[in-house]
Amino acid sequence: MLVLHGPNLNLLGLREPEIYGRDTLADVDAALEQLADELGIEVACRQSNHEGELIDWLHEARERFDGVVINPAGFTHTSVALRDAIVASEKPCIEVHLSNVHKREVFRHTSLTAAVCVGTVMGFGLQSYLLGLRAIASRLLPATLAAPATARPATAAAIPVLPTPPARASRRTRGSRQPKRPRRT
């Protein structure tokens, strides 16, 4: 899984801590790596202040990653090119934000990238990233379960597959019974 941090997130912990919290980028990446271990998946975390570099990494995801967790930061509200690159990755992407952007300035209420992502997690600080990673992993899990049992990672094999409930007769079927025969006397 690829995790991308957008511009200014290298200053996490120092920059506006009342909004973004005191966790540093290294703390976020360490927590993501620990969760990835627990889930039995691999994660690569990268940060850039440059739109083109984030776009190049999304292109790389086409060949090298199964899914993407992305905090596009300021580019969320401005970048058509980043949105196009998410589509071009042809991989499921989850958008995450540390802060709840809807509680902030109006210009942050618009996301150009959210509509091309599977979903968005925001407002939970470092936890937004962890929830995003869980979301992308669970989305890819059915494919893992489809693999032969011997090829499954232990964590995936441990998750029970619920049996399909038996189909219930519909109202229409129940109502279309044969009319009762008159009783013999």
Quote the least distance from Cβ 77 to ligand DHK, whole Å.
6
Indicate the residue type of 164.
Answer: T
| Residue 74 interacts with ligand DHK (CB under 6 A): yes or no | yes
- Mark the segment that binds ligand DHK (CB under 6 A) among 32-40, 44-52, 97-105, 159-167: 97-105
Let me know: does 68 contact 4? Beta carbons within 8 Å.
yes
* H and E: helices and strands count for the chain: 7, 5
Query: Exposed/middle/buried for 129, CB within 10 Å: 0-12, 13-18, 19+?
Result: buried
Within 21-40, which residues bind ligand DHK (CB under 6 A)? none
Neighbours of 153 (CB within 10 A): 12
Which lies closer to ligand DHK via its Cβ, residue 64 or residue 100?
Answer: 100
| Residue 71 interacts with ligand DHK (CB under 6 A): yes or no | yes
Q: Which residues of 30-40 are buried (b: 16+ CB within 10 A; e: fewer)?
A: ebbeebbeebe
CA distances (Å), 81 to each of 11, 34, 54, 63, in order?
24, 32, 10, 20
Which lies closer to ligand DHK via its Cβ, residue 47 or residue 144?
Answer: 47
- Kindly tell me which residue out of 3, 70, 73, 121 binds ligand DHK, with binding defined by CB under 6 A: 73
| Residue 101 interacts with ligand DHK (CB under 6 A): yes or no | yes
- Kindly tell me which residue out of 30, 48, 66, 108 binds ligand DHK, with binding defined by CB under 6 A: 108
- Whether 129 sits among the annotated catalytic residues: the reply is no
- Kindly tell me which residue out of 98, 126, 135, 136 binds ligand DHK, with binding defined by CB under 6 A: 98
- DSSP state for residue 112 in the 8-state scheme: S
CA distances (Å), 180 to each of 169, 170, 171, 175, 184, in order?
20, 20, 18, 12, 12
Let me know: does 90 contact 113? Beta carbons within 8 Å.
no
| Residue 135 interacts with ligand DHK (CB under 6 A): yes or no | no
Which lies closer to ligand DHK via its Cβ, residue 106 or residue 167?
Answer: 106
| Residue 4 interacts with ligand DHK (CB under 6 A): yes or no | no
- Whether 20 sits among the annotated catalytic residues: the reply is yes
Catalytically annotated residues: 20, 97
Binding-site ranges for ligand DHK (CB under 6 A):
8, 71, 73-74, 76, 97-99, 101, 108
